[in-house]
């Protein structure tokens, strides 16, 4: 996976590559899908949700330029895999999941894989962020929004970085957002397709 899907597609951050090598992706997918755990595709995890393809997980982590002192907010815990990767790169990860069954799955997967030590799984509305634990050095959003939610921008530190898919259900752009000296700028890292960011 790392050699064929990541290195050859411009994933160069050595810490990201090490995290992707270290974390067993098959432990985060349902038993029935484990033989395809390392395929270069998203995979269903139940409740109409997916685990992102390995390349997208690595790209988003690389775009955040995480330091081992950072606190990260992740929106869309899913099965917990992306949170595990972020946790290998940062000091603390708070991951929010709207669907209670998936929040519990993420928590269990992180516990079983030994990755729960610096990850807090919260069941709630990710579009509203987690104001009681803000601000965050970085925010990673694993669901597509029509536009960048204002609460997430408000909870991002200055300076800070956010990665989020923005667009319709059929066509999205992965935006890398930077806040610096009160100014917000962004660029497109790639085009993508994520499940929609949902609210209760």
Q: Which residue has the tokens 């050595």?
A: 14
Q: Which of 32, 52, 140, 180 is catalytic?
A: 52
pLDDT in tens, 65-111: 999 999 999 999 999 999 999 999 999 999 999 999 999 999 999 99
- For the entire predicted model, the pTM comes to 0.95
Residue 97's H or E segment, with its range, is: strand 92-97
Q: What is the CATH number of domain 2-192?
A: 3.40.50.150
Q: ∠ CA 97-140-95 to the nearest 5 degrees?
A: 30
- For 101, the token pair is 């069954």
**Are the CB atoms for 126 and 197 separated by under 8 Å?**
yes
Closest CA to 52 of 139, 188, 160, 165: 165
Query: Active-site residue 52, yes or no?
Result: yes
pLDDT in tens, 13-52: 999 999 999 999 999 988 887 888 899 888 889 998 999 9
The burial of 70, by beta-carbon neighbours within 10 Å (0-12 exposed, 13-18 middle, 19 or more buried), is given as buried
Residue 151's H or E segment, with its range, is: helix 150-155
């Amino acid at each position: 996976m790392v050699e064929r899907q990541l290195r050859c597609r411009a994933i160069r951050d050595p810490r990201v590559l090490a995290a992707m090598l270290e974390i067993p992706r098959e432990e985060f997918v349902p038993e029935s899908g484990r033989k395809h755990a390392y395929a270069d595709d998203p995979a269903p995890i139940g409740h109409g949700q997916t685990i992102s393809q390995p390349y997208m997980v690595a790209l988003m982590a690389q775009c955040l330029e995480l330091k081992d002192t950072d606190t990260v907010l992740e929106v869309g815990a899913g099965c917990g895999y992306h949170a595990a990767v972020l946790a290998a790169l940062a000091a603390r990860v708070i991951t929010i999941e709207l669907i209670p069954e998936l929040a519990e799955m993420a928590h269990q997967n992180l516990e079983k894989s030994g990755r729960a030590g610096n990850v807090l799984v919260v069941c709630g509305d990710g579009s509203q962020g987690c104001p009681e634990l803000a601000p965050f050095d970085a925010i990673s959003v694993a669901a597509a929004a029509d536009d960048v939610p204002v609460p997430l921008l408000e909870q991002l530190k200055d300076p800070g970085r956010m990665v989020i898919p923005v667009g319709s259900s059929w066509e999205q752009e992965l935006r890398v957002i930077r806040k610096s000296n009160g100014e917000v700028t962004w660029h497109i890292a790639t085009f993508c397709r994520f499940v929609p960011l949902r609210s209760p």
